[in-house]
Chain A
Amino acid sequence: MSAHIESSHPLYGLMAEFETATELVSAARRTRDAGFRKFDAFSPLPLHELDDAMDLHDNRVSMFTFIGGLLGCVGGFSLACWCAAIAFPLNVGGRPLISVPMFIPITFECTILLAGLTAAISMLVMNGFPTPYHPVFNVERFAMASRNKFFLCIESADPKFERHATAAFLEGLGAEEIAEVAP
């Protein structure tokens, strides 16, 4: 329960540890309600309730995926048309060079390929991966964040952050343990 909040060395933020998912969600909600914006919650599994509690509504992955799919669709079809009608036209008994039904499988596969790759890559890029180093890893107990514990970290970059007051605030949220996060 106790934390060493006295030194004046630079700080990335303060991290609070919680035992259950319910505690984390309600802590995140109260942190947001208290006016903090630069904070993050960490859990070993996805908690959809956090999206609401932290007001996370990033739909860019879907948007990029749609654009990727559209590009794949148009690109695949155009490729087939260009090859069959312009680059290498083959007259087979006077049949149309652009034989749309026969180009559908390729168009479809290209759509899926580009949409799928964009979905994965845009997710990774927007999450900032790869990030082998991050200040939160400096907290020793943070290793439990991928096992069974739940964490909430308020960054010192938040305008409302104030070392002692924020520590007291986190304590008030029912945190089991509070740690300083070295930058």
Chain B
Amino acid sequence: MAQPVEIPDKIYVGPVIDEGHSLASISDKVGGIVLKRKITLGWTFGLFMAFGLLQALAAGAVWLFMKGVGVWGINIPNGWGFAIINFVWWIGIGHAGTLISAILLLLNQSWRNAINRFAEAMTLFAVMCAGMFPVLHTGRPWLAYWLFPYPNTMALWPQFRSPLLWDVFAVSTYFTISAVFWFVGLLPDLATLRDTSKKPWQQKVYGMLSMGWRGSARHWQRYEKASLLLAGLATPLVVSVHTVVSFDFAVSIIPGWHTTIFPPYFVAGAIYSGFAMVLTLMIPVRKFYGLDDIITMRHLNNMAKVTLATGMVVAYGYIMEAFFGYFSADKYEKFMIWNRMFGPYAMFYWCLILCNIITPQFLWSKKIRTSPGILWIISIIVNIGMWLERFVIVITSLHRDFLPSSWGYYAPTIWDWAVYVGTLGLFMTLIFLFVRVLPMITIFELRMLLPGAQVKEMVPR
């Protein structure tokens, strides 16, 4: 699997996995985090904080269901407020996980092996958070199943020409396939936990979850084929999901939304924010769990490079948007871009430029790419920047469209914030639980990187 590639000294930052690891030590180290490690005060405190934030979601949702969507800041013309902004933001974050687990697998990038499990867990949790918003935004979430085509007494069928319905199909497919891919990837590692655990209840739980995996060659052969197929299917899927999300905007005729650059620019933005989020989570996890021999400088360096590259694509998108506005000779488009830069939300736009275009330029320096602390701060800034991007796209286009008589202003209420902060709590709670109950690194794929796993055959057939 791992083809040795000669890397020039100038750009070499370290191995994919530190020397001195063996098949046994890898299994014990990663499995030990789940099976042996004591529950620390820091973890308990973190979980407690995250769970506390989650209560904001509960409160926000209850109030919303009691009073309706009027408790949010949305109005006419700003029918789409925080709900859509946060939906797009969370979905985008999810994209890095699939990129790492599927696209980098097809490209045979061995450095993905150490981070793909964690990144894909992040994907699942982010999509859960994302899915919350459209459902809440319907105002009557108990009727959300109306979105699916099923025979009903109203003799109604969904509108298959609507991007909003495409969204339902795209996001639910994305979640299902990601969850399946993740679970399939977990099987051999769950078997490792079953076999190394000393406690009967753990053996039972992991034993049932691993479905009786025993590492048979016949199983591995089908397993590898299924993994490859899933990766091949997830690759166009991940590109399609954010494309469909961008269609929610691009298919409409609102100035600033009705552009063909939206799909590629959204996909790049999604990967950009996703990699930033992987860095935000991975840098502390790597430190607290002492995993810097498995998630090495090489990983951080590579992720920083992907962040930089997709950041440049996003920057190109911003420049083109401004250019289109000017070059379209359409007064509404022109006004939209002027209003975006100098209107009531100008501060958000310039903050966005600062976060998303200026900040990642620091990543050109190898020194910064290999200093976890600075990288972590940059990743947070990029996360904020990507949230601002969605805010700017949604609000500046909506609040002043064609007729000045229909202009308005949008400001989120406390309930908007409660739901948003609540989903952050949900996300963090799930991450905290995940690192303690499942192996956060794909053990069997790490084994493939070790010299002990290479077959050097002496008997030619």
**What is the interface of chain A, defined by CB distance below 8 A to chain B?**
20-22, 25-26, 28-30, 40-52, 54, 56, 58-62, 65, 69, 79-80, 83-84, 87-88, 90, 99, 102-103, 105-106, 108-110, 112-113, 115-117, 119-120, 122-124, 126-127, 129-134, 136-137, 142-148
Contact = CB atoms under 8 A, between A and B. Distances in A.
Given A54-B217, A112-B173, A147 B456 contact: no
What band does the interface of chain B fall in when counting residues whose beta carbon is under 8 Å from A? 35 or more
Interface of B: 22-24, 27-28, 149, 155-161, 163, 165-166, 169-170, 173, 176-177, 180-181, 183-184, 188, 191-192, 194-196, 207-208, 211-226, 229-230, 233-234, 236-237, 240, 244, 247, 444-445, 447-448, 452-459, 461
A158 B208 CA distance: 30
A90 B160 CA distance: 11
A112 B236 contact: yes
A44 B443 CA distance: 9
A44 B157 CA distance: 50
A20 B450 CA distance: 12
Contacts of A43: 215, 217, 220
Contacts of B461: 29, 52
Given A109-B169, A115-B233, A147 B195 contact: yes
Nearest to B180: A120
A134 B214 contact: yes
Nearest to A89: B157
Contacts of B160: 79-80, 83-84, 102-103, 106
11 contacts: A26-B459, A42-B214, A47-B220, A51-B221, A105-B170, A106-B160, A116-B237, A119-B230, A120-B226, A132-B211, A143-B195
Contact of A113 (B24, B176, B454): B176
A88 B214 contact: no
A148 B22 contact: yes
Please name the 4 residue pairs, one residue from A and one from B, whose CB atoms are nearest each other, closest first. Answer: A131-B212, A123-B226, A148-B23, A83-B157
A147 B176 contact: no
A44 B211 contact: no
Contacts of B225: 58-59, 61-62, 123
A129 B448 CA distance: 24
Contacts of A148: 22-24, 27, 452
A120 B207 CA distance: 19
B196 A143 contact: yes
A112 B452 CA distance: 37
Contacts of A30: 459
A83 B149 contact: yes
Given A56-B218, A69-B233, 9 more contacts: A44-B192, A61-B226, A84-B160, A87-B155, A88-B156, A112-B173, A119-B226, A127-B222, A132-B211
B155 A147 contact: no
Nearest to B224: A46
B233 A116 contact: yes
